[in-house]
Amino acid sequence: MKSLKTMVKEEIIKEKAKVSIICNAYNHEKYIRDALDGFLMQKTNFAFEILIHDDASTDSTADIIREYEAKYPDIVIPIYQAENQYSKGGGITDKFQFPRVNGDFVAICEGDDYWIDENKLQKQYDAMMAHPECDICTCTAEVRWAKNGEFSRYSGPELDDGVIPVEEVIKGGGGFVSTATLFIRTSSLKDLPPFRKVLSSDYMWQIHGSLRGGMLFLKDAMAVYRFGGDSSYNARIKKDKSILARFHRKTIDALKQLDIDTNGKYHDVIEDTLITQEMIVYNAERKFKKLLKWKYLKRYKKKSKALRVIILAFFPFVSKIWEKIGGSK
């Protein structure tokens, strides 16, 4: 005889998913179980689906996903790529994930991150239902080292529950909140504005979701962002700075298009944010002489950072020595 809990679970599965969880994975064999278990532990009064995309992992990530697919065939809905799509360019989420969403809301979590609050989806769903003017909801996340799981810091604004204006989201530069906390109204993903077609990134999702009514923020820490993983974006850019430069050049293009799309409404904050993005590009490309302009130098809070730029601008060979002794890049 089936338990009441089992029968309720089966009825929820039969319902149309109200929330679609999007999870992109690549060589995440060390972490993917944490992500999937975090999704499946969610306690909700609505149905949800897990749309997971494996980008031709070369480890056992796909095999682990297949285990969960076999156990939860009505919930875990995977795509297994034969060839890596990220290397071909274009956004995985915009191209492969968003088009197959069935839910009224989308929750995003990369395969090396995970959720730690069993009520995360319900809390964000209830908050969005109470704020129909908002298209995006986020929360605080814990930042933990991938190598040992040790706590590093909290990610997210130090604010109470409330709505954050889009200007603050633009200023945030993408690191304002963790990707694993994003909860987006699906209707806002239709008919993407031009700036969203320039670049697919969590920063652009944050801005796009905040344009209509701001970003709804919950102060509870309900997710974990793993930092320093072998297959993470940070690991890739550490090996190849050109990846960082290309990404932020695209970010600059997207922000300029955002300025056009919004008829200059946020021009001042966009111009201010462009300075920060340009600094990242010039540092990555080692074009230190370009950073000698006052608009860049005055951004460095520590004089030692500005001094470093001046030294590297006139003595570029010092850069390699700096790296060998573990200096800032």
Q: What is the pLDDT of residue 324?
A: 60
Handedness of CA 103, 105, 110, 115 (dihedral sign): negative
Give me the pLDDT at residue 233, please.
58
The 3-state secondary structure of 55-94, one letter per residue: CCCCCCHHHHHHHHHHHCCCCEEEEECCCCCHHHCCCHHH
| CA 215 distance to own-chain centroid | 15
Q: How do beta strands 151-155 and 105-108 pair? A: unpaired
> How high is the pLDDT of residue 5?
43
Distance CA 269, CA 253 (A): 15
Cα–Cα distance measured from residue 282 to residue 284, given in angstroms and rounded to the nearest whole number: 5
Residue 256 DSSP SS3: helix
CA dist 209 and 205 (Å) reads 6
Could you list the mean pLDDT of each consecutive 10-residue stretch along the chain, which spans 329 residues?
46 78 97 98 98 97 98 98 88 93 98 98 99 98 93 94 98 94 95 93 96 98 89 64 92 98 98 97 94 94 88 80 57
At residue 232, the pLDDT reads: 56
The domain limits of the chain are: 4-227, 286-329
What pLDDT shows up at residue 3?
A: 44
Pairing assessment for the beta strands 136-145 and 19-25 based on DSSP bridges: unpaired
User: Which region, left, alpha or beta, applies to residue 279 given φ > 0 means left and ψ of -120 to 50 means alpha?
Assistant: alpha
What six digits make up the tokens of 12? 């929820």
Q: Are 282 and 248 in contact (CB under 8 A)?
A: no
Report the pLDDT value the prediction gives residue 88, as an integer from 0 to 100: 85
CATH of domain 4-227: 3.90.550.10
